[in-house]
Structure 1
Amino acid sequence: MGFSVEVLAKIAIELQRDIGHQDRFARLIATLRQALGCDASALLRYEAHQFIPLAIDGLAQDVLGRRFALAGHPRLEAIARAGDVVRFPADSDLPDPYDGLIPGQESLKVHACVGLPLFAGQNLIGALTLDGMSADRFDNFSDEELRLIAALVAGALNNALLIAQLESQNVLPGENNGYGQAPGQEMIGLSESMVQLKKEIAIVAASDLNVLIGGETGTGKELVAKAIHEGSARAASPLVYLNCAALPESVAESELFGHVKGAFTGAISHRSGKFEMADNGTLFLDEIGELSLALQAKLLRVLQYGDIQRVGDDRSLRVNVRVLAATNRDLREEVLAGRFRADLFHRLSVFPLSVPPLRERGDDVVLLAGYFCEQCRVRFGLAQVVLSPGARAHLAGYGWPGNVRELEHAIHRAVVLARATTTGDDVVLEAKHFTLHDQPAPVTSVALPPDNTNLREATGRFQREMITRALAQSEGNWAASARRLETDVAHLHRLAQRLGLKA
């Protein structure tokens, strides 16, 4: 019993209907699952030696956030190399990438599994995977029928990817990256706010405008900057990074503009600054709100006239640099308070972007959790890292004040804890492996030091504890720690150095 003409017609219609719509692939997968009697199916896009899920049915939601590198998944590698329908033996020894990821099925030791590679001409563009819990689920379908399904799906996938490229003004496949970002630099998320952000990135990347990227600590502002650079005409030139919050005032100007030999004590040779390093490329200034007013004035001059002066040099150098700046402060308030120059703010914020906090991104939390689970699986050499339903609910219900960075650290911690109590290479993360607290516990009392401690020692000890705690709560970010402690970041750096907390 194969496909009827009616079923094939329905599949073809589903494939072409609203091909530019967000849920087109989800509808297709649902249709195929019904027609083939699958218990689970997935449509995957191929890029840079990995498969990226576009739509799933019958699989855990976090699969959509996972990235399946061929090197770590033998079945997917076999599908990518086959060039034709792949039917895996029901008792195949090759580990299944979805083991533990089909709700209600703890193991996929014996099951039917079919893989259909998808091609555009000679180029592999994706794969369709079909799983059935009974070993003979797909025996009634001939290879010829499955090839027909693969051809229909491949055509629809190729058209959809071309539409996506045109919408984002990207190049066609085979040139540059074509579609998406490099592994490890991808912005994971299907929420409305993230879809909108990606559209805005695609628009501004093609221009040469300076961009101000706003958002809370840990939301992924650096990834936004990388995406803008990679989508711009400057992509072949360097993207240079500078964290303004980590710059002591004494060396900040030299870091930005360079210096000549003898400009100051310790300047034993000429040194290029970040602007020179980024010539013809992009300079990403993180935490720009931490720059002093004097440096803001010099930065404004570069943006206005395109020339810089090394410290100690009378000559000017011409540079061609696009500046992307990021901040977790409200720079409008900083301008009103006199801590940030209004003219620099307006120069930078021609096209402002706002990265949404994780608590406003809905189901993206679970997708990101799946992404980090797969990263941990590879890093620790595990067979599987799976989230239990309780763990998914636990993560989805938390407020994530530290945003994506906090989620990443929470997953890594949970994997380490789970491994300590697990035998074998299959790790299941439970809610108990996560210790999440929206707010740090209040300090109700301060323990007094011993009687023989003088005031200076006691003060130093207390300051060390306060700074250490603020750093822990701010994921090691000095600027955020300074705001928690309501002090100037430069003063905090000096104090931490005096107390022996930094070299």
Structure 2
Amino acid sequence: MTEFLKALRTLLAQLAEHEASEAHWGHLLRALVGDFPADASTLMVMDGDALRPVALMGLNDEVRGRRFALQDHPRLAAIASHPGVCRFPHDSPLPDPFDGLIDEDLSDVHDCLGVALRDEERLTGLLTLDALEPGRLDGLDDAQLLSIARLLGTCLRLAERLRTTRTRLNEALTQEPSSEVGWRWSSRAMRQLDNAIELVAPTDMSVLLHGETGVGKELAVRALHRRSGRHQGPLVQVNCAALPESLIESELFGHRRGAFSGATEDRRGHFAMADGGTLMLDEIGELPLSLQPKLLRVLQEGEIQPLGCETSRQVDVRIVAVTNRDLEAEVEAGRFRADLYHRLSAFPLHVPPLRDRPEDIPLLVGHFLEINRVRLGLNNLRLQAEAETALLAWHWPGNVRELEHTLARAALRALGDREAPATADRRQAVALIMPDHLDLPDDRGVAVSMRHHEVSAESATSPGPSLSMKEATEAFQRHHIQASLRDHDGNWAASARALGMDPGNLHRLARRLGLKAS
């Protein structure tokens, strides 16, 4: 109880300042149900029309990236509608959302219960407990579970009301709309980017967004627009590289009928279409030098002159320029105007590559696995531990887009290995993605991962070329865990937090790797 009170006090103090993190919710969940004989437990909150996990025990971190819509999960829907503790018989025909996600052999859950968390009659979340053995949870006291549910419900209600109060206060002070809740990134780099977007979005400053191909720059642009005072206006996107050079001026600024051969009717142009909103100029580095002075004039004067028109018109447009090029190098090479570059980069933002933020991979993996589970009609889709290790070890030259496509292909291959061609019922299937399904190169990932985790040459054993991918990645995991334990004086809980893992998952991984986990 002392541990629970400390966790609750920490959580409430965090909520008083800003949104609580998964670590705070996880500490509270462990303090409440950590001694229960369950193999897995979740605390989920309503996020729109779906449940979002905020705390996990006994489940992989990728589950945090999933969303559980009640209409897709009848067992969760049954818990949500039950007035008390909802217990399921071990032979319940309702599929469990965590079947195949708890242990290595895809075992089904055989003992399951849950409690709905409510604010009066409104559902705010769920607490679930699962065990692989029938009857394991029979001894739990329903009255105690309901008391826990009331405490968690109070925390969720307080979290929502504090968030609503802060939102209204911010709107009253800034007269700007609040931002929508987006990803809760694990990496410091993405949290810094999110904070920078939050800072610049309410202004009208031009933003230069740069990053490698596939990192998610378009999502950052959407976040900028959504959090701005222009969110009710249009967001117009134009790819400068996809436009023929002879038509770029017309596409951007518009034209009158008869302005040139083929101009059979008036055209507004992208700037006019974006009036009152945001214009995303994708691949701005591809804009021809001949057109750059005209774009600069629009940015300076706030007016456009369509082709064939004798008069100019004012436009109110916020520019977000996007590029995967080094525009400073382009300026030095004479391929991009320096004055236009400085005008566009009033507030530069960098979207980091995936190899620099491996902490976010489990979150993204969970998101993409859930998308493919629904697409393929599976009961569940999960990664084998070695497959997750391979994902974390690869350096992702194609970034998030490469990860998305890799998992889509792997899910299909896993399904093909899982089911008999004509007899399998996908609705009851749990497909396991193994390293071979990923089809990743096996010669560079571990070394890159070690470099980005800053494991010193003295503390890490360099995998030899004769090692298989599995052996090399396990060697890296073993040394990385040992290094973390040394840094935290053998404290497994502190090491789990530093590694961004659930303590139960760390203990299981350590046992599998042959490390003594107390």
For Structure 1 versus Structure 2, the TM-score category normalised by the shorter chain is 0.7 to 0.9
Provide the residue aligned with 1:206 in structure 2: 202
Provide the residue aligned with 1:433 in structure 2: 437
TM-score by length of structure 2 reads 0.76
Provide the residue aligned with 1:245 in structure 2: 241
Partners of 1:13 and 1:374 in 2: how far apart? 34
Provide the residue aligned with 1:361 in structure 2: 357
Residue 294 of structure 1 aligns to a residue whose secondary structure is coil
Within the alignment, does 1:230 sit opposite 2:231 as a pair?
A: no
Provide the residue aligned with 1:481 in structure 2: none
The letter for the 2-side match of 1:26 is G
Equivalent pair of 2:212/2:353 in contact (CA under 8 Å): yes
Provide the residue aligned with 1:48 in structure 2: 48
Residue 392 to residue 8, structure 1, CA distance change in 2 (3 Å)? closer
Deviation at 1:32, TM superposition (A): 2.4
Deviation at 1:354, TM superposition (A): 0.7
Matches within 5 A, 1:138-217: 138-160=137-159, 166=166, 179-181=180-182, 187=183, 189-217=185-213
Q: Compare 162-171 and 77-86 and name the one that shifted more.
A: 162-171
Residue 266 of structure 2 aligns to a residue whose secondary structure is coil
Matches within 5 A, 1:112-127: 113-120=112-119, 122-127=121-126
Partners of 2:3 and 2:442 in 1: how far apart? 51
Provide the residue aligned with 1:376 in structure 2: 372
Residue 213 to residue 110, structure 1, CA distance change in 2 (3 Å)? same
Residue 421 of structure 1 aligns to a residue whose secondary structure is helix
Equivalent pair of 1:215/1:355 in contact (CA under 8 Å): yes
Partners of 1:9 and 1:78 in 2: how far apart? 31
Provide the residue aligned with 1:282 in structure 2: 278
* Equivalent in 320, 325, 344 of residue 329 of structure 1: 325
Residue 180 to residue 110, structure 1, CA distance change in 2 (3 Å)? same
Equivalent pair of 2:125/2:153 in contact (CA under 8 Å): yes
Deviation at 1:51, TM superposition (A): 1.6
Residue 311 of structure 2 aligns to a residue whose secondary structure is coil
Equivalent pair of 2:4/2:32 in contact (CA under 8 Å): no
Equivalent pair of 2:206/2:318 in contact (CA under 8 Å): yes
Deviation at 1:171, TM superposition (A): 6.5
Partners of 1:80 and 1:340 in 2: how far apart? 58
* Equivalent in 395, 406, 410 of residue 402 of structure 2: 406
Structure 1 stretches lacking a partner, 5+ long: 182-186, 441-503
Equivalent pair of 2:214/2:402 in contact (CA under 8 Å): yes
Deviation at 1:25, TM superposition (A): 1.1
Partners of 1:213 and 1:382 in 2: how far apart? 38
Provide the residue aligned with 1:256 in structure 2: 252
Partners of 2:85 and 2:7 in 1: how far apart? 18
Residue 38 to residue 275, structure 1, CA distance change in 2 (3 Å)? same
Equivalent pair of 2:109/2:132 in contact (CA under 8 Å): no
Equivalent pair of 1:11/1:32 in contact (CA under 8 Å): no
Residue 10 to residue 167, structure 1, CA distance change in 2 (3 Å)? same
Residue 293 of structure 1 aligns to a residue whose secondary structure is coil
Deviation at 1:188, TM superposition (A): 6.5
Within the alignment, does 1:133 sit opposite 2:132 as a pair?
A: yes
What's the % identity of the aligned pairs?
46
Equivalent pair of 2:205/2:318 in contact (CA under 8 Å): yes
Deviation at 1:240, TM superposition (A): 1.0
Equivalent pair of 1:418/1:427 in contact (CA under 8 Å): yes
Q: Deviations over 1:60-104 (max 9, x none)?
A: 121112222333222223334446543333322111111111134
Residue 8 to residue 393, structure 1, CA distance change in 2 (3 Å)? closer
Residue 350 to residue 439, structure 1, CA distance change in 2 (3 Å)? farther
Matches within 5 A, 1:2-13: 9=5, 12-13=8-9
Equivalent pair of 2:109/2:131 in contact (CA under 8 Å): no
Equivalent pair of 2:253/2:306 in contact (CA under 8 Å): yes
Partners of 1:349 and 1:311 in 2: how far apart? 27
Deviation at 1:218, TM superposition (A): 0.3
Ranges of 4+ aligned residues in structure 1 off by more than 6 Å: 167-172, 175-178
Structure 2 stretches lacking a partner, 5+ long: 445-518
Deviation at 1:211, TM superposition (A): 1.1
Q: Deviations over 1:150-186 (max 9, x none)?
A: 22223323444566674999779xx9887414xxxxx
Provide the residue aligned with 1:422 in structure 2: 418
The letter for the 2-side match of 1:262 is G
Provide the residue aligned with 1:107 in structure 2: 107
* Equivalent in 313, 321, 326 of residue 317 of structure 1: 313
State the aligned residue count. Answer: 428
The letter for the 1-side match of 2:436 is K
Q: Compare 260-269 and 66-75 and name the one that shifted more.
A: 66-75
Residue 374 to residue 242, structure 1, CA distance change in 2 (3 Å)? same
Residue 298 of structure 1 aligns to a residue whose secondary structure is helix
Equivalent pair of 1:7/1:35 in contact (CA under 8 Å): no
Equivalent pair of 2:180/2:227 in contact (CA under 8 Å): no
Partners of 2:388 and 2:147 in 1: how far apart? 37
The letter for the 2-side match of 1:252 is I
Equivalent pair of 2:7/2:24 in contact (CA under 8 Å): no
Residue 438 to residue 314, structure 1, CA distance change in 2 (3 Å)? farther
Partners of 2:67 and 2:46 in 1: how far apart? 10
Residue 116 to residue 199, structure 1, CA distance change in 2 (3 Å)? farther
User: Cα RMSD over matched residues?
Assistant: 2.8
Provide the residue aligned with 1:26 in structure 2: 26
Deviation at 1:418, TM superposition (A): 2.1
Residue 109 to residue 349, structure 1, CA distance change in 2 (3 Å)? same
Provide the residue aligned with 1:344 in structure 2: 340
Residue 203 to residue 157, structure 1, CA distance change in 2 (3 Å)? farther
